[in-house]
Amino acid sequence: MDFPPLQKLLYFLKMMFDVEITSKKVIISLLVLVIVFAFIKALGNTNKKQMSPPGPWPFPIIGNLLQLGDHPYLTFMEMRKKYGDVFLIKLGMVPVVVVNGEEMVKKGLLKEGENFAGRPHMHTFSFFAEGKSLSFSVNYGESWKLHKKIAINALRSFSKAEAKSSTCSCILEEHVTEEASQLVKVFTKLSLKQGSFDPKSPITCAVANVVCALCFGKRYDHFDEEFLRVIRTNEEFLKASSAANPADFIPCFRYLPLRIINAPREFYHQLNCFIGQHVQDHITTYDKNHLRDITDALVSICHEKRAAMKTATLSDNEIMSTVSDIFGAGFETVSAFLNWSFLYLIYYPEVQAKIHEEIDGNIGLKPPRFEDRKNLPYTEAFINEIFRHSTFVPFTVPHCATTDTTLSGYFIPRKTCVFFNMYQVNHDETLWENPDSFQPERFLNESGKLNKSLVEKVLIFGMGIRKCLGEDVARNEVFVFIASILQQLELKKCPGAQLDLTPVYGLVMKTKPYQLTVEPRFLVNSST
C-alpha cells in the first residue's frame, strides 16, 4: 500500500514503538524540527571545504529511513542511477555513505582498506565490541591484527590439518562428512513419516553440530534439550539483531526501556553463557599434548606466546570472544546457504538433474570429500551462482572511516559509517550477463572447468582487511553437504506448491518458509 509522506511517518512511528500518534502533534513537532534542522545544516554548510557525496534530502530525526522500503539493497541500486556509485544518506541521525560498483567497492575494501577498516559505534553491535569481538571490534590496530592472526592459525589447524585417517584429510572434514550423512537419514525419515517437511530445523541442527564439534569437540543429538535451547537462543538473537533497531540511528533511544532495543543484548548474553562455559572448561582441562578442537588450539597458541614472553597475546575473554565469532559465523552463513540451495534445487529441477549426473559420473557412491570440489565443476558453479544470485548477505558488516579520507572524489570524515553494497556488485549488468537469471553455467569455461577469475568477482564474504575468516571453511562445508544430499536423494517440491525466491530482509536474508519431499536415488542407500 502506498502512503503519502505524513502517513508514512505516522505508520513508521506506530510500527516501531507500537503507539498511536496524532497527525496534529506530528505536524507541530516536525515544523519545529525542520526549522532547527535547517538552521544547523546551514551552519554546517558554511564550514565545508570539501565536497560531500550527493544523496537524497533527509527528514529531520528519521533521515531517509522511510525511503528504504522492505529491501534497502534494491533501493540503493535505484539511488545509484541518480547519485552514482558513492552517495550519502541518513539513517535516523547517522550519516551513512553507501558504496556501489565493483571499482569503488574494491577501492574502499582493498586499495584503501585501512582507511575503511573501522566499525561504527552502533547499539546493536556494541555488546560485541565490549566482548572484544574480532568481527565487530570498533578499534583497528596492532592488537586487532594480532587477534586476527591467532584466530586464523587456530582455524587453519583444524580445517587444513594433515591427514588424520585414511578417508578424511582434516578434523573439519570428519565432522562435516558425519553430519551430512546424518542429515540424509533425517531427511529420509521425515519424508517417510510426514511426506513433506520444512528443511530449516534439521539443516540448522546439522550445521550447529559441525560448529559445536569444531569449537568444542562435541556433537549433540538433534533432540538434545540443551542443544535445542542454544539453537533457539541463537535464532532469537539473530532475529532481534536483524530488525531495524531505532537505537542504532537515533542515539537518545538507547536509554528507553523498549524490547526492540534491549532484546539483542539479552539473547547475546544467553548465547555467550553457553560458549563461555565450554571455553572455561577447555582452559581448565587443557592438555598441550592433546588438542581437541579450535578452543584448545587458541589456548595453545596463547600459552606458547605467554611462555616465550616474546609478544602480547589474547586474554581469556578474547579467546572466548574469538570462539563466539567462529561459532556465530559458521552457524548462520552455512545454514542460510543450505536453506537457499535446497529451495533453488526444487525451483530448478533441471539444475538438480545436472548435479546428479555429474556426481554419478565422477565420484559415484564414494562419500564426497573436500578434494572432490575439483572433480565436480558444475556443482561448484551451482554453489557460486547461489552466492551470487541470492546474495543472502547483501551488505558487508558496516564499516567506518578510520581517518579523514576521500572516495570517488568525495570527502568522507573520520568515523563516518560506510555500507558496501555487495548485492549490487553481484547483480551489476556490466559484470554479469542477464544478472537476474539463475545460470550456474556462467561460471564454467568452454572446456567445462570452473572459471576461477569469475568466481573471484562474487561478493558474499566481503574482501580485504575485514573479510570473513571462514570463507574456505564455509565453501568446503557447503560443498560436502550439497554433494552428499544430492548423491543419495532427489529433492522435490510439494505438488501444487508455489515457491517464492523473494528473501526476508535482514543482516543475513532468509528464505520464506517452504516444504519439500525427498526420494532415495539408490535402493542400496535407502535401507541404511
Q: What is the pLDDT of residues 197-251, one digit of tens each?
A: 999 999 999 999 999 888 888 888 888 888 888 787 777 766 666 556 667 777 7
- Residue 253: inside a domain, yes or no? yes
d(C-alpha 433, C-alpha 428), whole Å: 9
d(C-alpha 98, C-alpha 421), whole Å: 7
Instruction: Supply the pLDDT for residue 53.
Output: 97
- Residue 272: inside a domain, yes or no? yes
Instruction: Supply the pLDDT for residue 373.
Output: 96
Q: Report residue 461 as a C-alpha cell.
A: 564474504
pLDDT, tens digit (0-9, with 9 covering 90-100), for 333-342: 899 999 999 9
- Residue 107: inside a domain, yes or no? yes
CATH number of the domain residue 215 falls in? 1.10.630.10
Q: State the alpha helices, DSSP H only, in 162-224.
A: 171-194, 200-216
Alpha-carbon 386 to chain mean position:
14
d(C-alpha 16, C-alpha 31), whole Å: 22
Helices 316-347 and 142-159: crossing angle, nearest 10°?
60
Mean pLDDT, range 2-28, rounded to an integer: 50
Instruction: Supply the pLDDT for residue 169.
Output: 54
- Residue 5: inside a domain, yes or no? no
Instruction: Supply the pLDDT for residue 526.
Output: 41
pLDDT, tens digit (0-9, with 9 covering 90-100), for 287-326: 888 888 888 888 887 777 655 555 556 677 778 888 888 8
Q: Is 273 annotated as a binding residue?
A: no
Please give the residue range of the domain that contains residue 201.
50-526
Q: Are 325 and 215 in contact (CB under 8 A)?
A: no
Instruction: Supply the pLDDT for residue 32.
Output: 56
Q: Are 168 and 177 in contact (CB under 8 A)?
A: yes
Where is 89: in which H helix or E strand?
strand 86-91
User: pLDDT band at 148, cuts 50/70/90?
Assistant: confident
pLDDT, tens digit (0-9, with 9 covering 90-100), for 357-397: 999 999 999 999 999 999 999 999 999 999 999 999 999 98
Mean pLDDT, range 412-419, rounded to an integer: 95
- Residue 14: inside a domain, yes or no? no
pLDDT > 70? residue 327: yes
Phi-psi region of 111 (alpha: psi -120 to 50; beta: other; left: phi over 0): alpha
- Residue 356: inside a domain, yes or no? yes
pLDDT, tens digit (0-9, with 9 covering 90-100), for 51-110: 999 999 999 888 998 899 989 999 999 999 999 999 999 998 899 999 999 999 999 999
- Residue 15: inside a domain, yes or no? no
Q: Taking the model in full, what pTM does it have?
A: 0.85
User: pLDDT band at 166, cuts 50/70/90?
Assistant: very low
Total domains in the chain come to 1
pLDDT > 90? residue 17: no
pLDDT, tens digit (0-9, with 9 covering 90-100), for 258-278: 666 777 777 777 777 888 888
- Residue 200: inside a domain, yes or no? yes
Mean pLDDT, range 426-433, rounded to an integer: 96
Residues in Cβ contact with 99 at an 8 Å cutoff, skipping those fewer than 6 apart: 85, 86, 105, 108, 407, 418, 419, 420, 421
Where is 406: in which H helix or E strand?
strand 405-407
pLDDT > 60? residue 49: no
pLDDT > 70? residue 20: no
